[in-house]
Amino acid sequence: MIGFGKTDLGSTRLNNEDSIYVSNERVGPLENLYIISDGMGGHNAGEVASGKAIEFFVEHIKSYEAELRDEDILNLMMDAVRYANSKVYYISCQDQSMSGMGTTFTAATFVRGRCYIAHLGDSRAYVIKPDGMSQITIDHTYVNDLVRASIISDEQARTHHLRNVITRALGSESSCDVDPYSVDVEEGDRFLLCSDGLSTMLEDSQIEPVVASDTGLKAIASRLIDMANEHGGVDNISVILIGEGGLGHDA
């Protein structure tokens, strides 16, 4: 598996509060590492939160010195999220201009035929298989809670006036609740991590054929970002694609 990531300002924002991390090489005991982090907060606080979250997460991963068994991978990733949460929260408490900042956080690593994910917020992880695309992660948003309770439909959620209200974020409180995922990786699978700047602009049915196309990962990333901008680009747009084969060239 090899990954490629790209982030874009979008069509309306003045600064990019998304941060991404792409390593096809070993990071501490992990064979690879891919992260999407979408910050929130006033002034520059969002970009500080997303950038620092990744920095502290990677710092914790690199500090792990024991032998890492497969069954320990998710625990390490979740501990790293909690460590990053405490560090980002401390910064927000020390600097009034950073008060209340936070970030979504979705990290993935691939080890011996499995994908391990630590997630909170409304950035997403998808798997694209020959028979279709499915979302691995659950959005931690107010409207998704309503959908899951069958109070509103998926279609209503896309235009709901509270659709941007996030129920879980890294760094906004002294502790955080992180979701772990572990899925099998089969031949031909592709994985997509994205911020909501992509998923709110495009339907899954628009994303799927692009990611499933017989195209290099760089061209796919560029095409997805172009499509999100063509549909309004009202937020920063970040994508990371992981799959077999080469990266290809930018579109």
Question: Would you place residue 49 in the very low, low, confident or very high pLDDT band (cuts 50, 70, 90)?
Answer: very high
Exposure of 43 by Cβ count < 10 A (0-12 exposed, 13-18 middle, 19+ buried)?
A: exposed
Q: Is the pLDDT of residue 249 over 70?
A: no
More confident residue, 146 or 117: 117
Q: Are 83 and 217 in contact (CB under 8 A)?
A: no
Rounded to 5°, the CA angle 123-223-184 comes to 50
Measured distance CA(241)–CA(7) in Å, rounded:
12
Q: Is the pLDDT of residue 102 over 70?
A: yes
Q: Are 243 and 133 in contact (CB under 8 A)?
A: no
Q: Are 141 and 166 in contact (CB under 8 A)?
A: yes
User: Alpha-carbon dihedral of residues 225, 231, 232, 234, nearest 10 degrees?
Assistant: -50
H or E element that contains 3 = strand 2-8
Q: Mean pLDDT score of the chain, rounded to an integer?
A: 92
Q: Are strands 132-135 and 2-8 parallel, antiparallel or unpaired?
A: unpaired
pLDDT for residue 12 = 93
Question: Would you place residue 244 in the very low, low, confident or very high pLDDT band (cuts 50, 70, 90)?
Answer: confident
Q: Is the pLDDT of residue 251 over 60?
A: no
pTM of the model: 0.94
Token couple for 67: 């032998």
- Per the DSSP assignment, residues forming a β-bridge with 170 are 103
Measured distance CA(233)–CA(239) in Å, rounded:
14
Residue 175 CB coordination number (10 Å): 8
